[in-house]
Amino acid sequence: MAERGFKTQEFYDRIADAHNVALNLNGYRGSVARYLKSIDPGIGPESYVLDAGSGTGIVTMGFYSAGFSPKRTITFDLSHNSLSLGRDQFRKDRNTPATKISPVQGNILKLPFAEGTFDLILSCGVLEYVPLDNGLSELARVLRPGGKLIFIPIKPSIVGAVLEFLYKFKKHPLPEVRRYAETYFRIVGHHKFRITETMGWSKVVFLLEKK
């Protein structure tokens, strides 16, 4: 696992710039914002938010585009370069309060946070790099009871298969996603993006509430 983590970190450190350009073109930010506006993730001025596997922070930017204003957001990722590119990007974006966002580098399987720290966790495209049960149980550990996890896994699709090859991950079958999710969370929502949204070509959303 340590070896795989190192290779993944090296890979994303190398591609951070190009990957970020692609993400800014593909409309993920707008799709995340529209989805988040359609639900109540229970965020207030005292809330703590974690973007687990944030990469360069597109999901965090979508979150702020939806108008939320928590106390602090942590962007968490293996890749230093992705985190620092994200920080620069937040500073240039008028909808994203860079001073309220802290980047933390590390492995999602060993989050350096106490139990129940977060009110909301966003996680897109990262649990495909780790055993699903271990990843979900670690996210559940740092989420407070009743807190929400917005989990955006890769769905079976041609685009998903291409991404799997290009980005060197292994998607989890959706019945397994449901089964493991139900171990730690209640599944309170399931969202399919519109076919006109690029995000919908490869991803779906599970809205999970910590038991």
Ligand X SMILES: C[S@@+](CC[C@H](N)C(=O)[O-])C[C@H]1O[C@@H](n2cnc3c(N)ncnc32)[C@H](O)[C@@H]1O
Residue ranges that bind ligand X, judged by CB under 6 A: 5, 8, 12, 23, 53-55, 58-59, 77-79, 82, 107-109, 124-126, 129-130, 167
Largest CA distance in the chain: 41
Is the CB of residue 82 less than 8 Å from the CB of residue 12?
yes
Q: Which two three-digit tokens encode residue 79?
A: 């890749």
Provide the minimum distance between the beta carbon of 84 and ligand X in the complex, in angstroms, as a whole number: 12
User: Rounded to 5 degrees, what angle do the CA atoms 69, 193, 197 make?
Assistant: 95
Provide the minimum distance between the beta carbon of 68 and ligand X in the complex, in angstroms, as a whole number: 17
For residue 58, what is the DSSP state? H
Is the CB of residue 63 less than 8 Å from the CB of residue 42?
no
For residue 12, what is the DSSP state? H
21 or 186, CB closer to ligand X?
21
Provide the minimum distance between the beta carbon of 143 and ligand X in the complex, in angstroms, as a whole number: 16
Provide the minimum distance between the beta carbon of 35 and ligand X in the complex, in angstroms, as a whole number: 13
Provide the minimum distance between the beta carbon of 29 and ligand X in the complex, in angstroms, as a whole number: 9
Is the CB of residue 200 less than 8 Å from the CB of residue 35?
no
Indicate the burial class of 201 (C-beta count within 10 angstroms; 0-12, 13-18, 19 or more).
Answer: middle
